[in-house]
Amino acid sequence: MYYINTSRDIKNRYDIAKFVEWYTPSFDTPVYDILYSYFWNNVVNIPQGGSFVVSGEENRPDLISYKIYGETQYWWIILLYNGLSSNEQVTAGLELKYPLLVDMEALYFKLMGLSK
């Protein structure tokens, strides 16, 4: 089972490319395979750390990530945590749940241990 790809040269700790398996199917175009990502599948099990009501950030999960965490790189975690698949689903009045960074760090380091 794939856990975390520490060999990829990724600047941000939570870059989505680290948590999905990279492979080349028969048509020779490399793709990410999120179905085999342990982190991806376990983010939704992290306890809720808080909630955020969308107001003025429609279609911009990156701005919401910045307001919650002070970084834009967590946008995909917010979407995943709330079962959303696109930016267009982020509409005014929507209440978004989010995990705490400390809980994401715990999962991240657990995966680091499992991958060795």
Map 1-54 to HEC letters.
Answer: CCCCCCCCCCCCCCCHHHHCEEECCCCCCCEEEHHHCHHHHHHHHCCEEEEEEC
> Which H or E element spans position 64?
helix 61-69
Comparing 34 with 76, the larger pLDDT belongs to 76
DSSP 8-state secondary structure symbol assigned to residue 114: H
pLDDT band, very low/low/confident/very high, at 62 (cuts 50, 70, 90): very high
Question: For a pLDDT cut of 70, what percent of the chain falls above it?
Answer: 65
Tokens of 26: 């028969």
Residue 4 CA to its chain's centroid (Å): 13
Tell the burial category of 6 from Cβ atoms under 10 Å away from its Cβ (0-12, 13-18, 19+). Answer: exposed
Output the pLDDT for position 33.
59
- pTM for the model: 0.71
User: What is the domain partition of the chain in residue ranges?
Assistant: 16-114
pLDDT interval class at 66 (50, 70, 90): very high
Return the higher-pLDDT residue of 96 and 40. 96
Bridge partners, 97 (sequence order): 51
Question: Do residues 61 and 78 lie in contact, with contact meaning Cβ atoms separated by under 8 Å?
Answer: yes
Which band of pLDDT confidence, cut at 50, 70 and 90, is reported for residue 24? low
Mean pLDDT of 72-98: 94
Would you say residue 2 has pLDDT above 50?
no
Task: Express each pLDDT in 102-112 by its tens digit.
Answer: 998 888 788 76
Residue 21 has a pLDDT of 57
Residue 116 corresponds to which tokens in the numbers above? Answer: 């060795």
